[in-house]
Structure 1
Amino acid sequence: MTPELTRDCQTVADRLRATGHRLVLAESCTCGLLAASIAAVPGVSQHFCGSAVTYREQTKVQWLEVDPDLLSRHSAVSAPVTDQMARAVMRRTDEATVSLAVTGHLGPDAPAELDGRVYLAVCVRSGGPGASRDGRDDPYVVHAHALRLHEQLRVQRQIESAREAWQFLVRVALADI
Structure 2
Amino acid sequence: MASPVYKLAQQLGELLQLHKLKLTTAESCTGGQLAQAITMIPGSSSWFERGFITYSNLSKQQMLGVHTDTLNNYGAVSEQTAREMAQGALTHSSADISIAVTGIAGPEGEGPDKPPGTVWFAWTCEGFGTLTHLQIFSGDRLFIRDQAVEYALQALIKFTNSNKPKPKLEIPV
TM-score by length of 2: 0.88
Classify the secondary structure of the residue corresponding to 2:77.
coil
Q: Distance in 2 between matches of 1:159 and 1:16?
A: 22
Cα deviation, residue 64, structure 1: 1.2
1:123 aligns with 2:149: no
1:143 aligns with 2:131: yes
Instruction: Determine the structure 1 residue equivalent to 2:5.
Output: 5
Instruction: Determine the structure 2 residue equivalent to 1:110.
Output: 109
1:175 aligns with 2:161: yes
Q: Distance in 2 between matches of 1:145 and 1:77?
A: 12
Q: Distance in 2 between matches of 1:163 and 1:42?
A: 19
Classify the secondary structure of the residue corresponding to 1:143.
strand
Q: Distance in 2 between matches of 1:118 and 1:149?
A: 8
TM-score by length of 1: 0.86
Q: Distance in 1 between matches of 2:154 and 2:134?
A: 13
- Which blocks of at least 5 consecutive residues in structure 2 are unaligned? 164-173
- Which blocks of at least 5 consecutive residues in structure 1 are unaligned? 127-139
Q: Partner amino acid for 1:121? A: A
Which deviations, in whole Å up to 9, do the C-alpha atoms of 1:67-88 show, x marking residues without a partner?
A: 1111111100001100000101
Instruction: Determine the structure 2 residue equivalent to 1:158.
Output: 145
Classify the secondary structure of the residue corresponding to 2:11.
helix
Q: What RMSD in Å do the two structures reach over aligned CA positions?
A: 1.2
